[in-house]
Chain A
Amino acid sequence: MKSLAAIGKYFIMLQIIFRRPKKWSIFWRSFINEIQLIGVNSIPIVILMSSFMGGVIALQTASNMDSPLLPSYTVGYITQSSTILEFSPTIISLILAGKIGSNIASEIGSMRITEQIDALEIMGVNSLNHLILPKIIAAFAFFPVLVIFSMFMSLIGGYITLIVSDLTSTEVYVMGIRSFFEVGNVYYALTKTIVFGFLIVSVSSFFGYYVKGGALDVGRSSTKAVVASSISILIANFLLTQMILL
C-alpha cells in the first residue's frame, strides 16, 4: 500500500516538474550547470569502466573460442554486439545510477532539510520544476553522448587487450566489429539510455525531495534512491527489450 502511494506521489511529482520554466534564462543556466555535473564529470568513470569491460569481454570471448568452425572475426563481432546491446546502455546506466543518483538525492535532500526548498516555495517558485527539470533535460541530452563514448571506449579497450595479448590482428578485429553491424541496435541502445537517464534523475530526485528528518535520513534516502533507480533500470530494460527487439 505504501509503495503504491509512493508511485502515485512520483507521478504527481512528474506532472509538476514538466511545466514551463518561470524564466528560461535561469533554466538554461541550470541546464548548463547540470550538463557539467551529470555529464562531463561522469566521463572519467565511463572511460575507465568501458575500456576495462571492453577488454574483459574481448578476452573472455577469445579464451572460449575453441571451435575451428568459428571464424576468427567472431571475437570482434561479439565484443561489438555485447557492447552496443547491453554493456554500454545498461551497465553504464547502472553505474551512473550509483554515481549520479546518490549525488542528486543527497543534494536535493540536503536542500530539503536545510529549508532551502521551503525558501523557494515561499518565494513562489515551483521548486520541483526549478530544481529537477534542468537535471532531467541534461540527462536526456548527455546520457546518449556518454553511452556513445562508452561504446567507443569499450571497443578500443577490447582492441588494445587483444593486440597486447597477441590474440588477433587489427584487420580481423575491425572486420569483426563491422560484421553484421546494425544501426538499429545503436538506436535501440540510445532509446534505452534516454529512458534510463530519465529514471535515474527522476527517481533519485523523488527520494531527495520528499526526505524528512536530518542528515541520517538524507543518507538513507540516497541509498534508497540508488537501489530504486537500479531496479527501475532493470525492469525498464526488460520491457524495452521486449518492445523493441522482439
Chain B
Amino acid sequence: MIEVKNINKSFKGEQVLFDISSKFEKGKVNLIIGQSGQGKSVLAKCIVGLHEIDGGGQILFDGNDFTSMNGDDKTAIRQQIGMLFQGAALFDSLTVEENVMFPLTMFTNMTKKEMKIRADFCLDRVNLHDKNKLFPSECSGGMQKRIGIARAISMNPKYLFCDEPNSGLDPITAIRIDALIKDITYDLGITTIVITHDMNSVIEVGDHILFIYKGKNWWEGDNKTILTTDNPEINNFVYASDFMKEIKANMQAKK
C-alpha cells in the first residue's frame, strides 16, 4: 500500500499541489484523474521521488517513510517500483528484449539465459511474441506501451505506476492496455497507480479514484460512485461530452 500525507509542491513559488492525502491500496487499480494541468503527473512524480515535495508531507510505501529515507534506502524502494511512462520511455539504442532485460542486468545476478527466460515471460504477459529483436522505433505506439509494461514488471515490482497509459492509442488498443494493467494488478497483487483522464479507463478499471482539482484532493471514490456523485466539478469532468451527458440524462430518466 502507498499512503501520501499532506503533500504540498511548489515550482518557483507557484504552488501546484495543496495538502494532498490519500491511500492507494494493494491489489487494486488506483486512478488519479483530473483535467490537464491540475497536478496529477506532479503528484505521481512526487510519489516516485522524481520531484522533491515541500516540507511537512509524507509518502509511505507499506508504512516506510520514503521522504525521510537516505539515498540507498530510496534506491531499494525504487527497485520495487515499475513505471510505464506516457511515451513509454524505452531506450532507443536497445532492442525490445534488451529493454525488458535492462533492470535485470542492472540489479540482479541472473545469468543471460535466466534473464532471457524472464524477458520472454514478461513479453508473453503483454502478448508480444517474437518481437524480441525489434528496436522501439520499429514498434507501434500500442506495442511500445506494452513493452513499457513488460519492462515495468520484469523485476516483479510491488508498486506499478502508469502515466496516461492510453494517451495516443485507438480505443481497442486502449481497452487492451487497461485490461492488461488490471490483470497484472490482480494476478501479482501489486499496488497500481494510474494517472489518466480517459473516462473509459475510469469506468473499466477504477477500483479507487482520486480526483485532483486545482491541485487539491477534491473527491475520492470508485468507478460506481463517480457516476452518481453530485460533486459539480466531477460531473463537469465525467459528463464533459454530449455523449456522456446523454447517458446521464438516460440514467436520470430511468430513475
Q: A23-B105, A23-B106 are in contact. Are A124 and B75 (CB under 8 A)?
A: yes
The verdict on A86 contacting chain B, using a C-beta distance below 8 Å, is no
- Residues of chain A within 8 A (CB-CB) of B48 are 122
The verdict on B85 contacting chain A, using a C-beta distance below 8 Å, is yes
- Residues of chain A within 8 A (CB-CB) of B49 are 121-122
Stretch in A111-119, A179-187, A221-229, A237-245 with 4+ CB within 8 Å of B: A111-119
Stretch in B17-25, B86-94, B113-121, B223-231 with 4+ CB within 8 Å of A: B86-94
23 chain-A/chain-B pairs, Cβ below 8 angstroms: A23-B106, A26-B105, A110-B92, A114-B87, A115-B85, A118-B85, A118-B89, A119-B83, A119-B85, A121-B49, A121-B50, A121-B78, A122-B48, A122-B49, A122-B78, A123-B81, A123-B102, A123-B103, A123-B106, A123-B107, A124-B75, A124-B79, A125-B106
- Residues of chain B within 8 A (CB-CB) of A123 are 78-79, 81, 102-103, 106-107
Interchain nearest-CB distance for A23 vs B (Å): 6
Q: What would 20 more interface pairs be, CB under 8 Å, given A118-B89, A121-B78?
A: A23-B105, A115-B85, A116-B89, A116-B90, A119-B83, A119-B85, A119-B89, A119-B91, A122-B50, A122-B78, A122-B81, A122-B83, A123-B78, A123-B102, A123-B103, A123-B107, A124-B74, A124-B75, A124-B76, A124-B79
Interchain nearest-CB distance for B237 vs A (Å): 26
A125, B75: Cα distance in complex, Å: 8
Q: Is the CB of B78 within 8 A of A124?
A: yes
A22, B87: Cα distance in complex, Å: 26
Interchain nearest-CB distance for A71 vs B (Å): 55
A116, B74: Cα distance in complex, Å: 19
Chain B contact residue count (CB 8 A cutoff): 24
A108, B103: Cα distance in complex, Å: 20
- Residues of chain B within 8 A (CB-CB) of A26 are 105-106
Interface of B with A (CB < 8 Å)? 45, 48-50, 74-76, 78-79, 81, 83, 85-87, 89-92, 102-103, 105-107, 161
Q: Is the CB of A124 within 8 A of B105?
A: no
Interchain nearest-CB distance for A31 vs B (Å): 14
- Residues of chain A within 8 A (CB-CB) of B107 are 22, 123-124
Interchain nearest-CB distance for B118 vs A (Å): 15
Mostly, the A contact residues are helix
Q: Is the CB of B86 within 8 A of A115?
A: yes
Interchain nearest-CB distance for B137 vs A (Å): 11
Proximity bits, A80-117, B CB within 8 Å = 1, else 0: 00000000000000000000000000000010001110
- Residues of chain A within 8 A (CB-CB) of B92 are 110, 116
A20, B56: Cα distance in complex, Å: 33
A115, B85: Cα distance in complex, Å: 7
Q: Is the CB of B50 within 8 A of A118?
A: yes
A123, B161: Cα distance in complex, Å: 12
A123, B83: Cα distance in complex, Å: 8
Query: Nearest 7 A-B pairs (CB), nearest first?
Result: A124-B78, A115-B89, A124-B75, A119-B89, A115-B85, A124-B79, A122-B83
Q: Which residue of B lies closest to A113 (CB)?
A: B87
A26, B109: Cα distance in complex, Å: 12
- Determine which residue in B49, B74, B89, B107 has the highest number of CB atoms from chain A within 10 A of its CB, and name it: B89
Q: Which residue of B lies closest to A119 (CB)?
A: B89
- Residues of chain A within 8 A (CB-CB) of B79 are 123-124
Interchain nearest-CB distance for A76 vs B (Å): 46
A229, B81: Cα distance in complex, Å: 37
A118, B83: Cα distance in complex, Å: 10
- Residues of chain B within 8 A (CB-CB) of A22 are 106-107
Interchain nearest-CB distance for A120 vs B (Å): 9
- Residues of chain A within 8 A (CB-CB) of B75 are 124
- Residues of chain A within 8 A (CB-CB) of B89 are 114-116, 118-119
- Residues of chain B within 8 A (CB-CB) of A116 are 89-92
A115, B48: Cα distance in complex, Å: 14
A115, B88: Cα distance in complex, Å: 8
A22, B102: Cα distance in complex, Å: 13
- Residues of chain A within 8 A (CB-CB) of B90 are 116
A121, B161: Cα distance in complex, Å: 14
A122, B103: Cα distance in complex, Å: 11
Proximity bits, A19-40, B CB within 8 Å = 1, else 0: 0001100100000000000000
- Determine which residue in A26, A110, A114, A122 has the highest number of CB atoms from chain B within 10 A of its CB, and name it: A122
A119, B90: Cα distance in complex, Å: 8
- Residues of chain B within 8 A (CB-CB) of A121 are 49-50, 78
A114, B45: Cα distance in complex, Å: 15
A115, B41: Cα distance in complex, Å: 13
Q: Which residue of A lies closest to B85 (CB)?
A: A115
